[in-house]
Amino acid sequence: MLKHTIIRQTEFLKVPWKNGQGYTYEIDKLTKADHSDEFLWRLSIAEVNQSGPFSKFDNYQRNISILSGDSMTLNVDGYDSPSLRAFETFTFAGKADTYCTLHGRALRDFNVIYAPHFDVNVSWLKDEYLDITLVADTLYFIIAATGAIHVQGSALDVQLASWDVIKIAPLKMSQLKITAIATNQPCICGIIAIAPKN
């Protein structure tokens, strides 16, 4: 059986940016054992309406992807990233001086901010049918990015609407099948894997 939790878009927690210039919608996070406000990792979605500086997160890494909207470029400690488009990922140090330049209309982005003793992999996959292998000792998040999807596995059978998330902690190697609900229409799903480094 796959231990899982469904996180609906309506359950995301709206929190202000550290720099006070916008809001992020927190999907999930792992806080430190002392129950402080500090986290070990956090998944969130933000709406970026204009160019400007990013908040700093010392002692963390950041992985960012555009979910919708036009492209952007990040200047990280004086160096420009490639022009980032939808469902391309970019990783950078949270402590860096980072400025975002939008190339067109406002966008929505997906962020994983995590302590360096975690391995994080973010993939965006597009197809009508996806078969995914899950391994033990890794936490997975699956995001329905462009439409409703059907997720099936061992004693698992759920539907996710756009932007809904399922969190899965497999106890052993398992197979997962993801199907686009819309007929003959590919789906784009985010697969986020988080595991402590050995």
Total number of domains constituting the chain: 2
pTM for this model (two decimals): 0.93
Question: Are residues 181 and 139 located together in one domain of the fold?
Answer: yes
Question: Are residues 143 and 92 located together in one domain of the fold?
Answer: no
Q: Which residue has the higher pLDDT, 183 or 72?
A: 72
Q: Which of 36, 68, 42 is nearest to 55 (CA)?
A: 42
The whole domain housing 24 covers: 10-114
Question: Are residues 25 and 103 located together in one domain of the fold?
Answer: yes
Dihedral Cα 196, 80, 21, 60, nearest 10 deg: 20
Q: Which of 6, 10, 46 is nearest to 167 (CA)?
A: 6
pLDDT band at 17 (very low <50, low <70, confident <90, very high): confident
Q: Would 1 be classed as within a structural domain?
A: no
Q: Which CATH number do you get for residue 92?
A: 2.60.120.10
> Mapping DSSP to helix (H, G, I), strand (E, B) and coil, where does residue 126 land?
strand
